[in-house]
Each structure stands twice: as C-alpha cells, then as structure tokens.
Structure 1
Amino acid sequence: MAFGRLERTEGARPISDINVTPLVDVMLVLVVILLVTAPLMASSLRLDLPQAEGAQPSDTPRFVTVGLDAAGRTFFNDQPVTPEQLAQRLAEAARQGADTEVQLRADQAVPYGRVVAVMGAAQKAGLNRIGFVAEPGSR
C-alpha cells in the first residue's frame, strides 16, 4: 500500500436530456412539404363522371341589344328603330323565349328617363332579364 491508492474512474454517464433540435428540423421539413403539396392535391381532382343524355349543355343564352345614343336615337340589334318599332321587336323577342335577355347599352349623356322608358317597354313586352353593358374602367 505504499504505492498509493487506486482510484476508480466513473464510466460515461447516460444523457438524461432529449436533444430536440433534430425533431424540430424534421417537423419543419414536413410542414414545408405539406404546404407545397396541399394546393396541388386540391386542384388536381380527377373524376370519371358518368354519361347522361340530359347533361348536355343548353343552348347559348338568347339576348337582344338595345342601344341609346347621345343624339336620342334608339337601336335594336344595331338597327335604328322608332319607339313603336322597339316595342314590337321586344314583343317578338319575348314570343321567341321569355328567358331572352335585353342587353341595354346607353350613352353617358342619355337622360335617365329614356333608360327607364326602354326598361319599361322591355318589361311590358314580357322581358324581365335586363343587363346593363358598360366599358371596363381604367386603373
């Protein structure tokens, strides 16, 4: 015992803390993959639809155009007409189909009363679908 005391060294101690960094890295990669693929999955829906005779698209919608210019003239399908002729042509269009749409094109300078008179003539003829046509505005 003269040579000294022998000491035992302790071995490696187990790590009791969990290293969370790799777990967070993997989760972030999975989130990025999910964010990238989710929109692709929603827009690429492929369906094999059944076939049916009644599923044919209907005829193109019917419409007539009525124009009012700044000079006070009235046009039906780009043909100048008098108010009496306009009423007759609107009635003919209503006889061809009650779902016919009247596309009303009026100049900015046309008084509101004239526009209302044309709308009234269309409704009197039996055409209740009236669309107002305008130019797209500039941004």
Structure 2
Amino acid sequence: MAFSVSGGRGGGRSKYKRAPMSEINVTPMVDVMLVLLIVFMVAAPLLTVGVPVDLPKTQAAALSGDNEPLTVTINASGQVFLQETPVEPDEIVARLQAIAQNGYEQRIFIRADSGIDYGRVMDVMSRISSAGYSKVGLVTDSATGSKPAKGKAK
C-alpha cells in the first residue's frame, strides 16, 4: 500500500481516497428503537398503580375483569382519591354520578391502606353506594404472593 504525507490540499494523491458517504445507516437507529420499545413494554405495567398504599393481606383469589374499573383509594393519612385525583369525601357522590353517564353497571374498586380506620372505609363505601353503584370491590394483597387480589363486597 502506498502512503503519502503532504502538508497542503493539493499535495500528494492517494489512490485509496474515499468519497464522502451520503447514505444514512439505519441499522443502529432500528436497534435503539427496539431497545426503547422493550424498555417501555416492561416499564408500562409498573406505572399503573397510582397512589401508594399498604394494602391488607388476604387469602382471597384474584377476580378476572374485562375492562378497567374505577378505583377509589384511601391513603394512610385518610385522603381520598378517585383514580389518581384527590377528592373531598363530600364530592365523591357528585363526581361518580357525573362519570356514570351510561348507567351504574361499572365496577368500583376501593383500595384502602391497612392502617386506616374501618369506619373511614365504610363511610366511603356508603357514599359510593348512595351514588347508585352496586358493584363495589375491596382490593387487598394476597398473603402468599405480590399480585393483588380483589375481594367482592356489597
């Protein structure tokens, strides 16, 4: 192979001089996109819980559900959330009635911290019942695994 060293632009010519590459190499971009897709597919289910609460442990089996239910959460300080939005207890009935445009057949799950007073949970359940909803379930953690179990209550 011939090698030439020159100090200027018009100096010695090399017979192995390449033309500038004008095409985009797509393979690295596709690799990065596939890795990002996998990361988001793994991370997405972990982001659905919402308000963190310490659920009570039970031996009940998990119920199967077709669609996403409404969730009312009561955290350790007694604050009430509808889905992930904080609400005052007096506003629960009005908000649930506004949501129920197609009837009251939608299931509602109550997630309450295990340290919450039982009377507080029953107060929220009675408000949901007075809004016209009859399918109310209590969400608990299973005692043997980490998958939440949902027990049905009326």
TM-score normalized with structure 2 length: 0.48
Q: Which residue of 2 aligns with 1:112?
A: 118
Which sections of structure 1, spanning at least 5 residues, go unmatched? 1-59
The alignment status of 1:132 with 2:132, answered yes or no, reads no
- The alpha-carbon deviation at position 132 of structure 1 amounts to 0.8
Give, as a single letter, the amino acid of the residue that structure 2 aligns with 1:66: V
Q: Once superposed, what is the RMSD of the aligned Cα atoms?
A: 1.6
Structure 1 counterpart of 2:70, from 61, 64, 68: 64
Report which structure shows greater RCO (CA 8 Å, sep ≥6). Answer: 2
For residues 52-92 of structure 1, what are the alpha-carbon distances to aligned partners after superposition, in whole Å with 9 as ceiling and x for unaligned? xxxxxxxx435210000111100001111111221211212
Alignment partners' CA distance in 2, 1:128 and 1:107: 22
Matched positions, count: 80
Which sections of structure 2, spanning at least 5 residues, go unmatched? 1-65, 146-154
Instruction: Flag the structure with higher helix content.
Output: 1
For residues 86-108 of structure 1, what are the alpha-carbon distances to aligned partners after superposition, in whole Å with 9 as ceiling and x for unaligned? 12112123333311111000000
Identity %: 31
Give, as a single letter, the amino acid of the residue that structure 2 aligns with 1:76: L
Instruction: Flag the structure with higher strand content.
Output: 2
Change in CA separation of 1:126 and 1:62 when aligned onto 2, cut-off 3 Å: farther
Alignment partners' CA distance in 1, 2:135 and 2:101: 14
Deviant stretches of 4+, over 6 Å: none
User: What secondary structure, in the 3-state scheme, does the structure 1 residue paired with 2:81 have?
Assistant: strand
Q: Which residue of 2 aligns with 1:100?
A: 106
Matches within 5 A, 1:28-43: none
Give, as a single letter, the amino acid of the residue that structure 2 aligns with 1:113: G
